Chains A and B, each alone.
Chain A
């Protein structure tokens, strides 16, 4: 320990857990100065980890430069470099970690490894003002209900198989829908669902506080192949059934923890129907509903920067030798001193 008081000011965060490479810059007071996101869009199919990592390596210098330009910050003013250490796709994580290590050693500042899932919760709290919410985090790779309890975020419920975003994406691809820059597959399902009105019976699987989505996906794809239902009705039914399931488990966690706020975060948080379902449920319980703004709902560097700033301010740094990526890092493993 040295006696000089640290003068923390700015933190840069690197996000590269899946298809997005992103760099964010924020102040330790929580002001976002830059949040540049470059998405890898596969020509067909889902994310190929190696191709995504190649994309990240290619765009990294450009994204970094743009983040510095947008934040109008002299890189030497940074106190720390944060990076998403996990969970995520190994090759993608390693690319981001390499950029982070290089930058940290060049600037002679410490590294902070950040848990990606916690970052989603933290940016949600920061941007919405929620203090101690039950969080539903739904994205292409994750579906979980988490809440803070004694020093850590705890998982109260999660998917037993595939993630919600994954379920919607795979269905969309089976239906021949295409992803384009700026229009994720989930949004295509969402807009088709608006024209659906007939509810097709699909499996609704809630097991305690956990859910299972693979049976629902299989049933929806089977009906799609039989071509007996309108695609709009199937999209509508898939959304209504899946969203009702995640809303129900969030409701269960809310009742169990007796918290007063609900926070929706992650890529699927952009879906208006999901937002409205959760809002209705939350209000019926007399709690306050918060949804993270779209820019910060998808994977982004700002959330890593902010969570890194929180961790750094509470004395947490990651020595280079411990900075290896952790593709299966559960959020329960991380202590969150800033919540107590």
Chain B
């Protein structure tokens, strides 16, 4: 790791810090999972090491599935660090707030298609929030932060994935949430097909009802 020069802290995320760095004359992002002082070291190292390996493996798998992710340049498990391409652009979280209706609609459809690509390849992202999607200057949407991603064939996992997307839209972009999520699912359906989309929507409905204190849950259970 001696060949990396930290330039600035880009973002202090929940579990990792992103640094803008210089690596062999290249502008890169260094993602470092910093130790969490709040949990025991043994548990902390297990979680950080596991997530570092997984993240890089699944970022690569996502590319194979047709989902843009930053190019990985170096992985250091012991330091829980990944060095990757720097994607210049804007977070979807910000874009959804400021884009006009049509542009927003297209963005959401594209996001839906990309999620569809991932799911069709048997990958769930695990943390599908609008902060984890970046529109690059070249107009491609990059998915970042695969730290909680998983390979799975389970409908349940795909449901949880999209359920989070829906929830983030409702909590952060509540004014346009319904339309955004509909557009997302339209894009999703164009990749995985109507049947699979209906299945996952039904699963999302089921997950929502599984939450506590949902109106109507008891009624359904009694039916």
Contacts and interface: CB of A to CB of B under 8 A. Distances in A.
Interaction A to B: yes
Interface of A: 86-87, 141-142, 149-150, 154-156, 158-161, 199, 201, 204, 206-210, 240-241, 243-244, 247-248, 251-252, 254-256, 276-278, 280-281, 284-285, 327-330
A28 B152 CA distance: 54
Contacts of B172: 149, 256
B171 interface: yes
Nearest to B147: A206
B38 A280 contact: yes
B160 interface: yes
B25 interface: no
A192 B211 CA distance: 32
B164 A142 contact: no
Q: Which 8 A-B pairs have the closest CB atoms?
A: A328-B213, A255-B14, A244-B39, A252-B14, A208-B164, A277-B38, A87-B213, A280-B38
A255 B131 CA distance: 10
Contacts, number: 98
Question: How would you classify the secondary structure of chain A's contact residues: helix, strand, loop or mixed?
Answer: mixed
Contacts of B148: 206-208
B15 A251 contact: yes
A243 B110 CA distance: 37
Contact of B36 (A160, A276, A281): A281
Nearest to A208: B164
Nearest to A333: B215
Interface stretch (B40-48, B72-80, B101-109, B181-189): B40-48
A194 B39 CA distance: 15
A210 B46 CA distance: 20
Contacts of B15: 248, 251-252
Contacts of B160: 160, 207-208, 210
Contacts of A208: 126-129, 148, 160-161, 164
